[in-house]
Structure 1
Amino acid sequence: MANPLPTIALFARYPVAGKAKTRLIPALGAEGAAELHRLLVERTLSTMRASGLPFAVWTTGEEHAAFAQWPGEDVPMIAQGEGDLGARLARVPAPAILLGADIPDVTAEHLLAAAKALEEVPVVIGPASDGGYYLLGFRDPVPFLFDDMPWGTEQVRALTEARLEARGISYRLLQTLDDCDRPEDLAKWPELLR
């Protein structure tokens, strides 16, 4: 029997001014940062739909009800639950492809390449140029990748790879992409600042 397709789990916040893309508020203001986040989530939803892979949006608790009214009836919504980012990521059932909404250049081809890689290796990583990752795919649960991780630092990908290597788990790297997290990142995507 063929392996089941991985489900893409998009982790996203509802675009509330002052709560979304907070590191971009100095450059865009609270409303502008929330609007950029809305645009990035919608763009990522379009990319996920184009991939043809199953997907769901994992939302933060207090925003879950509001989020359900926004992206469309075809979008399954799942509450992330409590805890730090690692605890919330660890709740996603395998097989899965974890994805953030802050990578403007991610395409359906990247998602399909991740799904294809999972047919050959247990884990696939989409490296972000800042030292983290924009995508993490896994065939089986990998909770050890999420414990005591210094989220938001340039160490995340290296620690992820080291933990996999320490357990003898093979993985594949996809193309490195830039994320849109800081004011200096905005110049890479002028079309987002319409």
Structure 2
Amino acid sequence: MLKSPKIAKQHLIIFTRYPEPGLTKTRLIPVLGAGGAANVQRQMTEYTLSKVQELQKAIAISVEVRFSGGDLELMQNWLGTDLIYQYQGEGDLGQRMTRSLLDAFDAGARQVVIIGTDCPGVNAQILAQAFTKLQQWDIALGPAIDGGYYLIGLQRPFLELFVDIDWGTSQVLQQTVAICHQLNLSVAYLPSLADVDRPEDLSIWEQIFVG
């Protein structure tokens, strides 16, 4: 693994997958084909990263890419060598996010925000807002219209938030908020945005990428 740059107090983690045809954005394959679906994954990751780089010009954050598929060399050739790269590793999404959070806080981060690359509405302003809210609230959540969330930010590793969640369902946000209430954690909400996961979501992406 490449020697990692120093992690800042405010740390952003991007979860993504190497855009290998047939293994990514599989729900889009029926309408786009394996290559087309992989191309959307590539474009959306690059678009998300461009918004993150806008944020880096405004505030001092470190950026980490947690990836699955491919390998370190492929990821660096694709997105550049000036990012922190780590494999997502095994387990469900909750276990993989838990691993990334523990690593970040152990390395000295004080606020950690995790995003995916499926939500083209994420921009530098929303990301900055998440870090700002974490100065006062325990948790920042970006609700997705499908019932999940596109962003979660924490000021400590509240690992209970990632256990017994029905990942990939419309219950994810509701279940997460319920755990927050059980733990008496304060929650700050960001704007609700739409994910691009299914063929009927493609118009959302096309409005931004084409229009």
Q: TM-score range by the shorter chain?
A: over 0.9
Unaligned stretches of 5+ residues in structure 2: 1-7, 106-110
What residue identity is the alignment partner of 1:189?
W
Quote the Cα distance in structure 2 between the aligned partners of 1:123 and 1:80: 22
For 1:83, the equivalent position in structure 2 comes to 91
Aligned residues: 191
The equivalent position to 1:136 in structure 2, one of 122, 139, 152, is 152
Quote the Cα distance in structure 1 between the aligned partners of 2:83 and 2:70: 18
For 1:21, the equivalent position in structure 2 comes to 25
Q: What are the superposed Cα offsets for residues 69-102 of structure 1, whole Å, 9 maximum, x if unpaired?
A: 2101212111112111111100123431010001
| Residues 33-182 of structure 1 mapped to structure 2, 5 A cutoff | 33-52=37-56, 53-60=61-68, 62-92=70-100, 93-94=104-105, 95-182=111-198
Cα pair 2:29 2:36 within 8 Å, conserved? yes
Quote the Cα distance in structure 1 between the aligned partners of 2:17 and 2:182: 33
TM-superposed CA distance for 1:189, in Å, is 2.9
Quote the Cα distance in structure 1 between the aligned partners of 2:53 and 2:163: 31
TM-score w.r.t. length of structure 1: 0.93
SS in 2 for 1:96: strand
Quote the Cα distance in structure 2 between the aligned partners of 1:148 and 1:63: 30
Identity percentage of aligned residues = 40
TM-superposed CA distance for 1:172, in Å, is 0.4
Cα pair 1:61 1:80 within 8 Å, conserved? no
TM-superposed CA distance for 1:65, in Å, is 3.6
Cα pair 1:124 1:138 within 8 Å, conserved? yes
Deviates more, 1:58-67 or 1:130-139: 58-67
Deviates more, 1:62-71 or 1:36-45: 62-71
TM-score w.r.t. length of structure 2: 0.86
Unaligned stretches of 5+ residues in structure 1: none
Quote the Cα distance in structure 2 between the aligned partners of 1:132 and 1:63: 28
What residue identity is the alignment partner of 1:79?
Y
Quote the Cα distance in structure 1 between the aligned partners of 2:196 and 2:122: 12
